[in-house]
Each structure stands twice: as structure tokens, then as C-alpha cells.
Amino acid sequence: MISAHSAAAVRAAEEPLLAARRPLMATAAFALATRVAAALRREGYRVSGSIVLLLVGGGNNGGDALFAGAHLARRGCLVHAALLGRAHAGGLAAATAAGVQVHDLTEDDDPAGAVLELAGWSGVWVDALVGIGARGALREPLARVVEALAEERAENPGGAIVVAVDVPSGIGVDDGTLPGPVLPADVTVTMGAPKPGLLLPPAADLAGRVEVADVGLDALDDAVPAVCRLTGDDVTALWPVPGPGDHKYTRGVLGLVAGSQTYPGAAVLAAAGALRTGLGMVRYLGPEVPTALVHQRFPEVVAVPGRVQAWVLGPGVGPEPSVRSEEVGEALAAALAAHRPVVLDAGALALLGETFTDLPATVVLTPHAGELAALLTARGEETSREDVEDAPARHARLAAEITGATVLLKGATTVVAAPDGPLYAQAEATGWLATAGAGDVLAGMVGALLAGYGDLLSGELHGALPSDGAGLPARLAAAAALVHGRAARTAAGLTGEATAGGAGAPVTAMDVAAAVPAALRALLG
């Protein structure tokens, strides 16, 4: 698992080391210089002779770059330092002594023009304007400088390598927002631990390859992370793999109230997602048309009421009041009364206006940005889809706090928030996954995992939800999102990590469901 820590947590971990006069900045700077050299070599350049431009702000972020520039100068780089704030004195002295060419632009009347000229000759731009000390959108003249460089980079994408120091300057370090202009990075060398803004969209999309420089912040190992990203190993540890003693009730039975006469296909897609994820049985409850379609595709689905350990309610049910939405409401009331974990998707989310208020964290909402905006607005927090897309983590957390439920906010990066515990940010998906029905498949996958842990989550095994169950719904939802994304990549012909190259090919939602077993085989070994 990748754990990201807030700026405050990093500072708290730094304090005792700084008090003990540990050379944090020297360690950070050496790591930065090493990573810049590696980035040059990765692109086929020689280190010696390469021209490096340091963009230096007025704090310790700039200090890191100045000390790193001294290392690079001693390795034969031609290093220029554009000072755009009162530079770190020690760093400036070290850089000057090592032959770094310093350009003090603090009094320049057109610093952006001067920086652009220096940038035009440079093979590497080191963005050290602000780090975790940033407060809000970049102020002038930094904003104009960053805008000019970002425009230049957009016009010449194959140009300089951009290396961000700690974070790309100007991102929302703790919430992943983009309050103002930011220079997209190819590499972010982050000190001590990833920051939330390097995992949370939209800022995470501008960080490039994130490399963590170890500066000895061991105190963070015991700190509760602000944001987590599950990796394959975490999913392997979580995924319920049946053994000789298992039967369908120990593996979990999922109740599925999905699909309608208008959208019958959602029932098939949600059932596909659940069945391919692996569970004891799916009980489908719905009208004649979707029932027939589900049975045609999956004869193993049982279409009569009975014992279930978890529910998926709402895929393919419209938000407008209808007989079907009433059936979903009745199923939700029964599930809550029985303390069963529930996934609420699509039309079921519209039920949360006034009737269902304080939900347990074992209820997992799976909205997209528009549905989350509608849900928050219905609860008195006037919110637009754009508001959610600009700050997904903040709005997912707000919805979790207001409803009490776990919120899986679908998007290119899927964010999962629970009323307490860390946020999750899963970014395995490919753009091909943006296709009709993919959300129905994901709802089925989340439901299958909840069913697999159904008795534990319902507290039947331990009385009240045990401490080791706290946070489990969020982890399971994040695990489902990881496998959903990996399955889409597999179906699209994109293998390996999210960073692997290749364009892939179109996929349907059913292709994604069909690829889940292959994605799991790759993960479970």
C-alpha cells in the first residue's frame, strides 16, 4: 500500500530531526540531484554537459534545489538558478561556490520572460518554487512564470524534463485540488513520503512519475496516513479465496435489486460483475424482462427471495420515483434492519434525500460526480458536478460525513471516503473504461466482496462490528476499484501497471466483467 501524509504530519515528523540538527535538507538535496541525473539518463542524455534550470522560490523547497544544483554542477552539469523569492542563504552559497549561474529575478520587471529565455536552453527544469509551504493558488510573479512555462511545455511536449521538488508548485498539497496554475511534471521527487495531492485527482494527474526520497522520517511509519492507494499485494491479502470447508453461505450470497423494464441490461451487468468477482450465489429480485435476461446469461443466478449476506440496490433504476424505486427503498429498509452491508448505486442514491439519514459505514454509495452533486444538494450542500470534479476528495469526504456511509466516487481515479479512516485513491483504470454499464459491473464487484465479508460486517461473528472490521468496507470498495481498473486494462489489451504504454482498444462493460478472473489470476498468483 502507498501511504500519503499531510503537510502537517510531515512537518511534525521533521521537527525532532531538525531539533537534533539532522541534515534533512542536505539528504533531500542529494536525493533530488541523484533523481535528476537518473531522469536525464532515462531519456538518453549524459549528465555531464546537460543544462539544468532551477526555479527557486523563497523557502526550503528552493533550498533543496539550490543544494541539489551544487551537486549537479560538480557532476558537470551547466546549472542556472532563477531566483524568484528570497533564496535560502545556505543553498545559495553552496550553489554559487559550485559554479551555479545565479539569476536574481526578484526585482526583474518581467521574470516570466527571463525564465522563458533560460528555459529555452535547458534540458531539465527543476520546479522548486513552493512545496508543502504553499498557501493557496500561486501568487504573482510565480503564477505568470508557471503559466508561461506550462504554455511552452504544452507547445513543445518533447522538450525539457520537468522535475518537481516535493510537489508540483501550486497544487492543493493535502486535497489534490488545482487552485491556480501548475507546471505539469514528468517526475516528482517527494521528500519523506507521498503527499495526498500526489495521489488525489486532479493534482495527481500533473505529478508524473512520483519518486519518494528517504530523508529519515521514520515517525511517519506509525502515523495514520491521510490517503492510501492499495497495490496488488493488498488486494491479494483481502480477496476471499475459498477453501475445502467453504460452501455458498460461507462464500457469501448477494441480493441484487437492479434493472428495470427500461434498463434491464444493468441487472445482467451487475450480476456479471458479482459472479466474476467470486461469491457463493447471486439472488436476483426484479421484473420479468430483466429476470429473463439475467437467467439467459447466468442460469446459476437464483431468482427467489432468501438469505443473503449483502445487497446491491439501484443499478438500472432511474432516480425518478417509480414502482421499481419503491421496491429498492423497501429492500434498503430491510437490509438496514438486518444490519446487512449494502451497495447503493444509481437510482438508489436518490432515495437518500430525506428518508435514510444516518447510515452505517457498511453502506457503500457508488456515485459518479453528477450523482454525488445531486446527493449533496439534496442534503442542503448546494454542489455542481464541476465542484465535485474540481475537488473529488473533499466532496467524497463531505458526503461520507453527512450520510455516515462509505462513498466510492467513480472517476478516472476512483476516490473512496469513509466517515473516519484514510481516503483511498485508486488510479488503475484506462480511459476505455468510460463506457456504459461499467459502473453496474463495479457495483456488482463491490457487492460480491461485501457479501464475502458479510457475516463479519454484519457483526454476526463478533457482536458489534469488530475493530478489525472498522474501515473494512472502504478497503473492500477500493480493492474492487483496483481490480475493476485492472480488468479493464486486461480487456483493452493493456498489460501491467497503469503506467505501461500502448493505447489499447475499445472494451464493453461485459468485456470488463469477463476479464475480472484473468486480472485476479494475475494478482492472486
Ligand X SMILES: NC(=O)C1=CN([C@@H]2O[C@H](COP(=O)(O)OP(=O)(O)OC[C@H]3O[C@@H](n4cnc5c(N)ncnc54)[C@H](O)[C@@H]3O)[C@@H](O)[C@H]2O)[C@H](O)CC1
Which residue ranges make up the annotated binding site for AMP?
410-414, 439
Q: Is 60 in the site for K ion (CB under 5 A)?
A: no
Query: Closer to K ion at the Cβ: 171 or 228?
Result: 171
Q: Is 393 in the site for ligand X (CB under 6 A)?
A: no
Q: All 3 cell numbers of residue 378?
A: 439534496
Q: State the virtual CA torsion across 140, 141, 143, 148 in degrees, nearest 10.
A: 150
Q: Is 257 in the site for K ion (CB under 5 A)?
A: no
Tell me the C-alpha distance between 32 and 211, whole Å: 10
Tell me the C-alpha distance between 370 and 412, whole Å: 14
Query: Closer to K ion at the Cβ: 55 or 513?
Result: 55
The minimum distance between CB 89 and ligand X, in angstroms, equals: 13
Distances (CA, A) of 43 to 48, 77, 167: 14, 15, 21
The minimum distance between CB 221 and K ion, in angstroms, equals: 24
Query: Closer to K ion at the Cβ: 165 or 268?
Result: 165
Q: Is 100 in the site for K ion (CB under 5 A)?
A: no
Q: Is 61 in the site for ligand X (CB under 6 A)?
A: yes
Query: Which stretch in 100-108, 167-175, 312-320, 454-462 sits in contact with K ion by CB under 5 A?
Result: 167-175
Residues 6+ apart with CB under 8 A from 371: 346, 349
Q: Is 164 in the site for ligand X (CB under 6 A)?
A: no
Give, to the nearest 10 degrees, the angle between helix 60-74 and helix 89-97.
10
Tell me the C-alpha distance between 54 and 81, whole Å: 5
Choose, by CB under 6 A, the member of 4, 6, 40, 64 that binds ligand X. 64
Fill in the per-residue mask, 147 to 166: x = in contact with K ion (CB under 5 A), - = not in contact. ------------------x-
The minimum distance between CB 191 and K ion, in angstroms, equals: 10
Fill in the per-residue mask, 65 to 94: x = in contact with ligand X (CB under 6 A), - = not in contact. --------------------x---------
Q: Which does 169 bind (CB under 5 to 8 A by kind): K ion, ligand X, none?
A: K ion
DSSP 391-423: SHHHHHHHHHHHH-SEEEE-SSSEEEE-SSS-E
Q: Is 196 in the site for ligand X (CB under 6 A)?
A: no
Q: Is 174 in the site for ligand X (CB under 6 A)?
A: no
Q: Is 169 in the site for K ion (CB under 5 A)?
A: yes
The minimum distance between CB 394 and ligand X, in angstroms, equals: 18
Judged by CB under 5 A, the chain residues 407 through 466 that form the site for K ion are: none
Tell me the C-alpha distance between 165 and 183, whole Å: 12
Nearest Cα to Cα of residue 507 among 522, 497, 499, 518: 518
Q: All 3 cell numbers of residue 513?
A: 466483467
Q: Of all helices (H) and strands (E), which one includes residue 517?
A: helix 509-524
Q: ω before 202 within 30° of 0 (cis)?
A: yes
State whether residue 383 is helix, strand or coil.
coil
Judged by CB under 5 A, the chain residues 466 through 505 that form the site for K ion are: none
Residue with cell 463479519: 456
The minimum distance between CB 381 and ligand X, in angstroms, equals: 27
Q: Is 191 in the site for ligand X (CB under 6 A)?
A: yes
Choose, by CB under 6 A, the member of 59, 419, 444, 485 that binds ligand X. 59
Number of alpha carbons in the 13 Å side-chain half-sphere of residue 143: 10
Tell me the C-alpha distance between 382 and 469, whole Å: 33
Query: Which stretch in 129-137, 243-251, 267-275, 306-314 sits in contact with ligand X by CB under 6 A?
Result: 129-137
List alpha helices for 278-429, DSSP H. Answer: 288-297, 323-337, 369-378, 385-390, 392-403
Residue with cell 479512516: 421
Q: Is 60 in the site for ligand X (CB under 6 A)?
A: yes
Type of residue found at 36: V
Query: Closer to ligand X at the Cβ: 14 or 387?
Result: 14
Query: Closer to ligand X at the Cβ: 76 or 90?
Result: 90
The minimum distance between CB 286 and ligand X, in angstroms, equals: 53
State whether residue 71 is helix, strand or coil.
helix
Q: Is 188 in the site for K ion (CB under 5 A)?
A: no
The residues that touch ligand X, with contacts defined as CB under 6 A, are: 14, 18, 24-25, 28, 57-62, 64, 85, 130-139, 142, 165-166, 191, 215
The residues that touch K ion, with contacts defined as CB under 5 A, are: 127, 131, 165, 169
